[in-house]
Structure 1
Amino acid sequence: MASDALSGSNPALLATLRTRPQTPLTARNPRLISAWLLTICAMLLGMIALGGATRLTGSGLSIMAWQPLSGILPPLNHAQWEHEFALYRRIPQYDLLNPGMDLAGFQQIFWLEWIHRFWGRLIGLVLLVPLLAFAARGVIGGRLVARLAFFLVLGALQGGIGWFMVASGFDPHSVAVAPVRLVLHLGFAFALFAAILWTAFEVRAPRPVAIAPSRGALWTRRLTGLSCAMIGLTVVAGGFTAGTHAGFVYNQFPEMGAGLLPPHYDRLAPFWRNLTQNLGAVQFDHRALASLTATAVLSTVLVGLRSRLGKSAHDALMLLGWGVLLQYLLGVTTLLLVVPVWAGTLHQTFAAILLGTALLVLHRLRGATGPDAA
């Protein structure tokens, strides 16, 4: 009732109320706070890259203990190194993948995993210490403090999920971590990255940019939301591809064996097992989702560039378009080269960058509405 009355008397005001955030995140110095949050996002990108390199080099099982506090110190003398190496030699990965490895070889994989864990602890400190200082001095509002404290808890939970993943690799019948746990760990990292990045955008620009109402503007915003969801789903499929080592079974493109579809796609029963255990099916699903995602993103860019959205939105759309093409090329390159460490790591990391770019577009289109809102 009140909305109808307001629409009849002042439609422009109603349109403004529809697009205005009801309780924007507040900060006394938005540029400082957003720069801090973007720094954390950059560190999370580094964490995702380190995670990819750790997985591809088989380094993740080199540290056999979960010590959130004392584990910050690496072995400091030869006896401690020998102790860690002796623990590693007890698990199947050593006998099946690294038989005869010497202490120097063990130290190489140990350091990569240690840096990965240390970097996670450092991210927690970079979030916690400024958060306490900013909250104590009233630089950030209570709603933002609560959200960032929640992110801190999620970050600690992610560390626990990481150990839950690593522990699955100590099974007597396993030489790697369980794919489902790897996907959980990877997906949680991407979700945390996306949440903090969106918060940084909200702090930097709490009010949406005015965009002339049109069908093109509305559809661009909807397609961008779809693109974000598709990118996330493709990342999950990529996690299963990585966790099952499905990227090593068909290393040509676009064919998979004799055709576009791998043979025996549905060989496992019940059918759902093919989605996570049939290597050919897992790789095909990732390929198919990547192609659908690229189509959705490029369609979004095409519709958006033909609409009057303003320069900032158009610039972000151009970045998104080039980004999805580059990511698709990286995926094909990684496949054809049989998943070298550098390509697999870059492909995983750039997936997060692509998701971040899509979120940037979505944030800049918050004010986009259809003609009925005019």
Structure 2
Amino acid sequence: MASTPLDQSSDLAHDRSRPGWLAWWLLAVAAMVVLIVAVGGITRLTESGLSITEWNVASGVLPPLSDAQWQAEFAKYRATPEYRYEAGPAGMTLADFKAIFFWEWFHRLLGRVIGLAFALPLAFAWIRGWIPKGYAPRLLALLALGGLQGVFGWLMVRSGLGGTMTDVSHFWLSIHLCTALVTLAGLVWTALDLQALDRDRAARPARFRPIAMLAGAVLFLQILLGAWVAGLNAGHASNTWPLMQERIVPEADLSQGLFFAVTHDPFLLHFLHRWFAWAAFAALLWLGWRALSREDNAGKALIGLAMGQVLLGIVTVVTGVSLWIAVAHQVTGALLVAATATAAHAVGRRSQGHGE
């Protein structure tokens, strides 16, 4: 039986949910995710990720506070294959170790802060009855993704500590990064749904349209290739553009098969990431153009960020993976994910809270 206007007014009078408050909270957490992606990029580019060889949830919050503690942490790092590879015959000073230790410690600290910034307000909103009907499972899923992110981060670090590995597995690095960016997209999308609900309590969640699925899938694949490029230091395979090794298609090692080459050969991966970018660019421009008719700012932001990301990618190559240019490239990638989610939400938004 359909609800009458009187029934709907009564429901609204007893509705304690705070979708507007929840939306701003999720956007704040999303901004923190962009920040940790930036710090993660610095950590990777400075080869700092294996400087902390243990995962201590509570005691790891504080860095070493005495010289003895610093020497103990340094000794653990000196026992890793990466130290022997990175330090070389000249070795490494304690001051050098402190510099790389900071970035890994700060990266982990931010992860803890983000976890608390999500979990504690979620618990408070749950107790107060602020979560609108139907949104609790989605928020719990985002919480679970955040927990998995921590697990994947440790598995990534552990992959570089055993045997003869002198770096983390590029597969675990890609899982770690992609999980963060999927979480970012989920935070933005959910926040936009909640903002729509705050404006109109009859609003329904936006649909995930086929064009958004296509653009999202192409962008995901490009990010995956980028993570593998970062994990294998394949950005250094060439510092010229558009040619590599003075040719369009570089020489690749196919001795172990095409699949192994696609997933392990630095030259081939660099080539694929470099040129598949244009497929991602075209898909995002299409999505941005479609979004312009529904949400002008969302479309413009996506198109502008897509153009900026292509230019940053080229500059990253020709500067030989300059630290801050490469970090800007990674941060713009995270912002591009958020903009893609925003544009996809605009395209999938239903009119006046009913039907299409």
Q: TM-score, normalised by structure 2?
A: 0.87
Task: Give the structure 1 partner of residue 106 of structure 2.
Answer: 115
Q: Give the drift of 1:297.
A: 2.0
Alignment of 1:133-152 (within 5 A): 133-141=124-132, 143-152=134-143
Q: Give the drift of 1:223.
A: 3.2
Q: Deviation per CA, 1:41-65, whole angstroms, max 9, x where unpaired? A: 0000011111111000000000011
1:329 aligns to 2:311 (yes or no): yes
Q: Give the drift of 1:302.
A: 4.5
Task: Give the structure 2 partner of residue 168 of structure 1.
Answer: 159
Q: Deviation per CA, 1:268-290, whole angstroms, max 9, x where unpaired? A: 33210111111111011111221
Contact 2:19 2:132 survives alignment (8 Å)? no
1:28 aligns to 2:17 (yes or no): yes
Q: Deviation per CA, 1:285-308, whole angstroms, max 9, x where unpaired? A: 111221111122223444665xxx
Secondary structure of the corresponding residue to residue 101 of structure 1: coil
Q: Deviation per CA, 1:157-211, whole angstroms, max 9, x where unpaired? A: 211111110011112322110111111111111111111221111111143699x
Task: Give the structure 2 partner of residue 245 of structure 1.
Answer: 233
**262, 285, 292: which one aligns with 2:272:** 285
Q: Distance in 2 between matches of 1:198 and 1:111?
A: 33
Q: Give the drift of 1:71.
A: 1.2
Task: Give the structure 1 partner of residue 333 of structure 2.
Answer: 351
Contact 1:268 1:278 survives alignment (8 Å)? no
Q: Distance in 2 between matches of 1:144 and 1:138?
A: 12
Unaligned runs of 5+ in 2: 1-14, 198-202
Contact 1:208 1:365 survives alignment (8 Å)? no
Alignment of 1:2-21 (within 5 A): none
**135, 139, 148: which one aligns with 1:157:** 148
1:318 aligns to 2:306 (yes or no): no
**286, 304, 320: which one aligns with 1:338:** 320
1:181 aligns to 2:172 (yes or no): yes
Q: Deviation per CA, 1:225-253, whole angstroms, max 9, x where unpaired? A: 32222111100010011011111011111
Q: Distance in 1 between matches of 2:241 and 2:76?
A: 41
Q: Distance in 2 between matches of 1:43 and 1:183?
A: 19
Secondary structure of the corresponding residue to residue 143 of structure 1: coil
**217, 224, 246: which one aligns with 1:229:** 217
Q: Structure 1's 261 and 27: CA in aligned 2 closer, same or farther, altered over 3 A?
A: farther
Q: Distance in 2 between matches of 1:84 and 1:185?
A: 24
Unaligned runs of 5+ in 1: 1-25, 211-217
Secondary structure of the corresponding residue to residue 365 of structure 1: helix
Q: Which structure's relative contact order is higher, taking Cα pairs within 8 Å and 6+ residues apart?
A: 1
- Which shifted more, 293-302 or 33-42? 293-302
| Fraction of identical pairs, as percent | 35
1:273 aligns to 2:255 (yes or no): no
Number of residues of Structure 1 aligned to a counterpart in Structure 2: 332
Q: Distance in 1 between matches of 2:157 and 2:341?
A: 31
Q: Give the drift of 1:142.
A: 5.4
Q: Distance in 2 between matches of 1:261 and 1:30?
A: 51
Alignment of 1:188-207 (within 5 A): 188-206=179-197, 207=203
Q: TM-score, normalised by structure 1?
A: 0.83
**36, 44, 47: which one aligns with 1:55:** 44
Contact 2:287 2:343 survives alignment (8 Å)? no
- Which shifted more, 144-153 or 181-190? 144-153
Task: Give the structure 2 partner of residue 87 of structure 1.
Answer: 76
Task: Give the structure 2 partner of residue 14 of structure 1.
Answer: none
Q: Structure 1's 163 and 27: CA in aligned 2 closer, same or farther, altered over 3 A?
A: farther
Contact 1:154 1:192 survives alignment (8 Å)? yes
Q: Give the drift of 1:147.
A: 2.5
Q: Structure 1's 367 and 54: CA in aligned 2 closer, same or farther, altered over 3 A?
A: closer
Q: Distance in 1 between matches of 2:277 and 2:260?
A: 21
**76, 97, 108: which one aligns with 1:106:** 97
Q: Give the drift of 1:152.
A: 1.9
